[in-house]
């Protein structure tokens, strides 16, 4: 591990954030297409508005969002375009038409009209039958990305670049991007070759531009077909801090400054406690840590994050709280205005002193913990922060040393909220067909009963009254049945901003079955429910629980579509108390073909999609994951031992239950998905 590796890791995090935003935008275009196909023009226009707003605000370096229909004509764009525009011969259309189901990143091109560089991030749109229905195109500004790389530079002669796997096409470069973007691709670039065998590592390179010897680190970007390469001039790298290496391994979250801070704190402790000789050693380490810190602080100063150090008592009270100089970039408050802990907490909304203590107690107990809260900026607006803290040294229980990493997650949350709402709309659309049948049944019965009552009264007169009354009662009963369905639909479609409270899982199952029971019956699937009404209540929200279960049931139905005709078509929903009695468990098991191992590993990643997900938005499971996380619960998937998949939802028990008093979710951790 060297400085280049540290830098590569920081760049990876920055890029991942951008690309996840891009994929979120693509999910919105898919939802828009679904809504259009269903004739929901208002819904489609609402999403179009959001996309236009994203482009206008120049968030994430997005220049334009557009869609191409299945025949290759541009069908929609955030930027008005003239007349029919045929793109059927473009690489980014053809690659998806020919079967690419995932994200494709095109080579940078200079726009014919705009004269600006752009990179197309494309993803196929699927139609209601799961077939190719066109392409979603997000045009991304590689110069802006290159500028970001430029600000993350790690020394005079360093250079960083993002290359496409597997052909080595340059996507962004920290220096001279305007000219370099047009250069031919390098499939034999050492980083491309090395990335085939290991996702990250170090290399010796000769710059193809200057011919200088460079030390480089490369790192593939998550699961994307991209690799970031950071090359440092060999001489400057020799001045690197050897001891930085081990400390970086200790840092679980990708905050290089954290590592430097760790080293610094350790050096200070040594200085206090050890002998003279060790003190000298510690000082030299401290100097080198300072040197590294200077570089890393510059690197991080541009990121929306701040690293603090603190000491905490065993009861979770914060004794010392030291924020970094760049906190003003994160919060807008100059460091001087955040001089002590009280200045910080007074700007935090809805986190009581007791909750802060609980948070830091859990940091001490678990080694690390995170809390999210909204924070007032000087001009009165609020932002969302994620505050992750980690124990550095717990030798002295009344002076536990802690470092924390505070990052701005406002955009992440707003995008998440938008996709949650869109996904709910899309799920509603998916349920619509089944619901039509579900509503038709009571209507048919009411119509028959009314006709029977009339006929009896007409032909038998008074003798038919008793029979007619039975028919009237039946009409009332069937009207209630229809109303239950409509009520559920209305609740499901409503924005949900209620607080967490006790929820009974048997009523969740009833609610979800009201919505999708007919869709499952229609697919010839038998549903076995083993959820007892005496199961303790869970701490959650009814509607969101139903949304999770509806998603899992519709997924199970799609999975069973892959079964041979004679194989059993069964879905089992079972509830139980966990081995830890604070946990209530709900499992959904299907008799489908199970989940392939590569999918199993990634299925809850935000925006991960598979072919099978083509029927919906491909967002279902990540939304379920988000919802379960908002309850402080979990969702997991595995293949069951017989056949099929088993999804496990773990809920915290409701606080009113006798053993779960301390389990209530801190208010600041509640995610207000609307």
> Which residues are near another protein by CB under 8 A?
441, 444-445, 448-449, 451-452, 455-456, 459, 471, 474, 477-478, 521-522, 524, 526, 569
> How far apart are alpha carbons 658 and 582 in whole angstroms?
10
Whichever of 341 and 521 has its CB closer to another protein, that residue is: 521
Whichever of 265 and 450 has its CB closer to another protein, that residue is: 450
Minimum CB separation of residue 469 from another protein in Å reads 13
Q: Within 10 A of 457 (CB to CB), how many other CB atoms are there?
A: 16
> How far apart are alpha carbons 40 and 48 in whole angstroms?
13
> How far apart are alpha carbons 335 and 341 in whole angstroms?
12
Minimum CB separation of residue 455 from another protein in Å reads 5
| Measured CA distances, 222 to 14, 228, 395, 466, 551 (Å) | 11, 11, 36, 71, 26
- Among residues 619, 607, 660, 463, the alpha carbon closest in space to that of 23 is found at 607
Minimum CB separation of residue 487 from another protein in Å reads 20
561: tokens are 């579509």
CA dihedral 12, 413, 337, 152 (to 10 degrees): 20
The string of DSSP codes covering 212-231 is: -EEEEEEEE-TTSSEEEEEE
Whichever of 307 and 527 has its CB closer to another protein, that residue is: 527
Whichever of 322 and 452 has its CB closer to another protein, that residue is: 452
Whichever of 445 and 577 has its CB closer to another protein, that residue is: 445
Strands 213-220 and 200-206: antiparallel
3-state helix, strand, coil in the chain (%, to 5): 45, 25, 30
Whichever of 101 and 521 has its CB closer to another protein, that residue is: 521
First vs last C-alpha separation in the chain: 43
Minimum CB separation of residue 614 from another protein in Å reads 25
Q: Are 384 and 410 in contact (CB under 8 A)?
A: yes
Minimum CB separation of residue 437 from another protein in Å reads 9
Q: Are 69 and 93 in contact (CB under 8 A)?
A: no
Whichever of 37 and 443 has its CB closer to another protein, that residue is: 443
Minimum CB separation of residue 565 from another protein in Å reads 11
Minimum CB separation of residue 643 from another protein in Å reads 17
Please, what is the Cα angle at 320 between 316 and 322, to 5 degrees?
Answer: 120
Phi, psi of 651 (to 5 degrees): -110, 145
Whichever of 240 and 438 has its CB closer to another protein, that residue is: 438
Whichever of 320 and 455 has its CB closer to another protein, that residue is: 455
Whichever of 314 and 445 has its CB closer to another protein, that residue is: 445
Minimum CB separation of residue 564 from another protein in Å reads 16
- Among residues 499, 515, 355, 520, the alpha carbon closest in space to that of 429 is found at 515
DSSP-assigned beta bridge partners for residue 218: 201, 229
- Kindly calculate the radius of gyration of the chain based on its CA atoms and give it in whole angstroms: 29
Q: Looking only at Cα atoms, what is the longest distance across the chain?
A: 113
Minimum CB separation of residue 594 from another protein in Å reads 21
Whichever of 350 and 432 has its CB closer to another protein, that residue is: 432
Reported as half-sphere exposure (CB side, CA atoms, 13 A), residue 449 has a value of 19
Minimum CB separation of residue 429 from another protein in Å reads 22
Q: Are 257 and 293 in contact (CB under 8 A)?
A: yes
Minimum CB separation of residue 586 from another protein in Å reads 23
> ω before 166 within 30° of 0 (cis)?
yes
Whichever of 394 and 457 has its CB closer to another protein, that residue is: 457
Minimum CB separation of residue 453 from another protein in Å reads 9
């Amino acid at each position: 591990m060297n400085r280049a590796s540290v830098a590569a890791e920081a760049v990876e995090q920055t890029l991942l954030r951008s690309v996840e935003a891009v994929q979120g935008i693509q999910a919105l275009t898919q939802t828009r297409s679904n809504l259009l196909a269903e004739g929901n023009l208002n819904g489609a226009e609402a999403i179009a508005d959001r996309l236009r707003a994203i482009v206008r605000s120049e968030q994430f370096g997005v220049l334009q969002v557009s869609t191409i229909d299945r025949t290759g004509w541009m069908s929609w764009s955030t930027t008005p375009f003239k007349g029919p525009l045929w793109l059927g011969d473009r690489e980014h259309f053809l690659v998806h038409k020919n079967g690419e189901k995932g994200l494709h990143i095109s080579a940078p091109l200079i726009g014919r009209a705009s004269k600006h560089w752009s990179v197309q991030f494309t993803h196929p749109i699927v139609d209601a039958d799961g077939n190719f229905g066109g392409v979603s195109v997000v045009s991304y500004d590689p110069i802006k990305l290159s500028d970001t790389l430029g600000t993350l530079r790690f020394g005079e002669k360093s250079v960083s670049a993002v290359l496409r796997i597997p052909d080595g096409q340059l996507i962004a470069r920290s220096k001279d991007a305007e000219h370099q973007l047009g250069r031919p691709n390098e499939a034999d670039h050492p980083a491309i070759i090395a990335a085939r065998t290991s996702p990250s590592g170090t290399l010796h390179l000769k710059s193809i531009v200057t011919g200088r010897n460079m030390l480089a680190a490369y790192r593939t970007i998550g699961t994307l077909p991209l690799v970031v390469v950071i090359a440092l001039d060999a001489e400057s790298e020799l001045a690197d801090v050897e001891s930085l290496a081990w400390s970086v391994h200790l840092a679980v979250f990708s905050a290089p400054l954290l590592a430097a801070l760790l080293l610094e704190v350790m050096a200070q402790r040594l200085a206090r406690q050890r002998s003279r000789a060790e003190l000298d050693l510690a000082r030299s380490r401290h100097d080198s840590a300072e040197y590294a810190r200077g570089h890393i602080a510059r690197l991080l100063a541009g990121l929306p994050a701040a690293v603090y150090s603190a000491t905490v008592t065993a009861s979770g009270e914060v004794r010392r709280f030291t924020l970094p100089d760049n906190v003003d970039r994160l919060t807008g408050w100059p460091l001087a205005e955040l001089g002590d802990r009280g200045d910080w907490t007074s700007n935090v909304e809805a986190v009581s002193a007791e909750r802060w203590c609980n948070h830091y107690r859990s940091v001490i107990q678990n080694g690390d913990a995170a809390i999210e809260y909204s924070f007032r900026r000087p001009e009165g607006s609020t932002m969302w922060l994620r505050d992750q803290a980690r124990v550095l040294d717990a030798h002295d229980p009344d002076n536990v040393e802690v470092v924390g990493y505070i990052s701005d997650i406002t955009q992440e949350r707003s995008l998440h909220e938008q996709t949650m709402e869109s996904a709910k709309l899309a799920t509603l659309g998916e349920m619509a067909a089944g619901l039509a049948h579900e509503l038709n049944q009571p209507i048919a019965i009411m119509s028959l009963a009314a006709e029977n009552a009339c006929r009896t009264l007409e032909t038998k007169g008074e003798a038919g009254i008793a029979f007619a009354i039975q028919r009237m009662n039946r009409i009332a009963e069937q009207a209630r049945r229809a109303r239950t369905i409509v009520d559920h639909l209305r609740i499901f479609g409503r924005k949900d901003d209620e607080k967490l409270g006790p929820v009974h899982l048997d009523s969740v199952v009833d609610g979800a079955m009201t919505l999708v029971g007919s869709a499952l019956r229609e697919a010839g699937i038998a549903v076995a429910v083993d959820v007892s009404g005496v199961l303790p209540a869970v701490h959650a929200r009814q509607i969101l629980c139903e949304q999770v279960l509806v998603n899992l049931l519709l997924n199970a139905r799609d999975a069973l579509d892959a079964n041979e005709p004679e194989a059993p078509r069964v879905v089992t929903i079972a509830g139980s108390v966990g081995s830890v009695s604070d946990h209530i468990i709900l499992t959904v098991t299907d008799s489908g073909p199970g989940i392939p191992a590569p999918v199993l590993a990634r299925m809850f990643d935000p925006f991960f999609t598979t072919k099978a997900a083509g029927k919906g938005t491909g967002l279902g499971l990540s939304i379920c994951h988000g919802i379960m996380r908002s309850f402080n619960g979990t969702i997991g998937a595995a293949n069951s031992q017989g056949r099929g998949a088993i999804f496990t939802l773990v809920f915290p028990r409701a606080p009113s239950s006798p053993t779960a008093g301390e389990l209530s979710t801190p208010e600041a951790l509640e995610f207000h998905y609307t």
